[in-house]
Amino acid sequence: MKRFLIILFIFGLSKAGFSLTSNDSLVSMAMNQYNEGAYNDAISTYDQIIANGYESSEIYYNKANAYFKLNDIPSAILFYEKARKLNPKDEDILYNLNVANSRIVDNIEQVPDIFLKVWWNNFYNMFSANDWAKITIGLFMITLFFAAIYFLSNRRFTKKIFFTIGSLFLIVTIFSFVLSYQKFYYSIEHKEAIVFQPTITVKSSPNNNSVDLFVIHEGSKVYITDELDNWYEIRIANGSIGWLPKSATQLI
């Protein structure tokens, strides 16, 4: 049994190493295909990388660039948005996303947020989920350091000081952990989508015979607020709400 477990462990490491090497070679292949102008081939290679279970903002960003070169703007916007979810402060992603959004029909004005929400969003998006997780680990280690001094010290004043400081760091650590978890949850949940139908009429209820509310076009971003059978209830940037068939969108 012990020998079997050792062999299984070595096989697992070998498989993981092979997977990393394989993905690295595929990334290089995709980059070469893109540089040679073979954008469809590059997209297929990036699809293979993602199918292998590997994703990153760089992969999505490069795939979006390939779609943009093919003038497939909705697909480009979709993958720029996927890249932004993983790396919300990357200037190249934000710039190219803005360029792609300037190429679509709809120019929906964003409802202005209140100051506190703008401030919170800027703070929340300062770091990715991985960065918030690293910050949480660092804060936790500092908290443990102060806790150790508290328990090892024999002086009442020292224990009081380090208990207070340690308690503050514990609160900040919990806060950072919550942000990290929220970021991770946001990165895997699908509450946003891109419209992929050239023109679609948004309905008042999940029924083709319901009242027409407004029209949006391919490339527009919608926020999913509810779903029923084959329909999404959506909200657009200006606050308008209605229902769309799921088949008209692709989830970010």
Q: Is the pLDDT of residue 14 over 50?
A: no
181 & 215 share domain: no
Q: How far apart are CA 130 and CA 180, in angstroms?
A: 7
Radius of gyration of the chain (CA): 24
Mean pLDDT of 170-177: 92
Contact assessment for residue 194 and residue 204, using Cβ atoms and an 8 Å cutoff: no
Structure tokens, 51: 């199918």
Instruction: Specify the pLDDT at position 113.
Output: 65
Residue 203's DSSP bridge partners are 212, 243
Q: Is the pLDDT of residue 10 over 50?
A: no
Confidence of residue 2 (pLDDT cuts 50, 70, 90): very low
In a domain, 110, yes or no: no
In a domain, 197, yes or no: yes
**Distances from the Cα of 112 to the Cα of 37, 118, 123, angstroms:** 40, 9, 17
81 & 41 share domain: yes
Instruction: Specify the pLDDT at position 12.
Output: 47
Please, is 210 exposed, middle or buried when counting C-beta atoms within 10 Å of its C-beta (0-12, 13-18, 19+)? middle
| Helix orientation angle between 73-86 and 57-69, rounded to the nearest 10 degrees | 170
Contact assessment for residue 67 and residue 109, using Cβ atoms and an 8 Å cutoff: no
Instruction: Specify the pLDDT at position 106.
Output: 87
Residue 215's DSSP bridge partners are 201
Q: Is the pLDDT of residue 27 over 70?
A: yes
Please, is 167 exposed, middle or buried when counting C-beta atoms within 10 Å of its C-beta (0-12, 13-18, 19+)? middle
* The domain boundary residue, chosen from 188, 213, 243: 188
Range of the domain at 159: 115-188
- Please state, rounded to an integer, the average pLDDT across all residues of the chain: 86
156 & 218 share domain: no
Mean pLDDT of 145-154: 88
Mean pLDDT of 149-163: 87
94 & 59 share domain: yes
Confidence of residue 127 (pLDDT cuts 50, 70, 90): confident
Instruction: Specify the pLDDT at position 6.
Output: 43
In a domain, 73, yes or no: yes
Tens-place pLDDT, residues 181-236: 887 777 667 689 999 999 999 999 999 999 999 999 999 999 999 999 999 999 99
Q: How far apart are CA 97 and CA 219, in angstroms?
A: 11
Contact assessment for residue 80 and residue 88, using Cβ atoms and an 8 Å cutoff: no
Please give the tally of structural domains in the chain.
3
Between the ranges 76-85, 101-110, 189-198, where is the mean pLDDT highest?
76-85
Specify the length of the chain in residues: 252
Confidence of residue 251 (pLDDT cuts 50, 70, 90): very high
CA dihedral (187, 192, 195, 200) in degrees, to 10, reads: 170
Instruction: Specify the pLDDT at position 173.
Output: 94
Mean pLDDT of 107-121: 73
Mean pLDDT of 7-31: 62
Q: Starting at the edge strand that comes first in sequence, how are the strands of the sheet with 249-251 ordered?
A: 212-217, 199-203, 241-245, 231-235, 221-228, 192-195, 249-251
Contact assessment for residue 211 and residue 83, using Cβ atoms and an 8 Å cutoff: no
Q: How far apart are CA 193 and CA 234, in angstroms?
A: 9
Question: Which has more pLDDT, 223 or 154?
Answer: 223
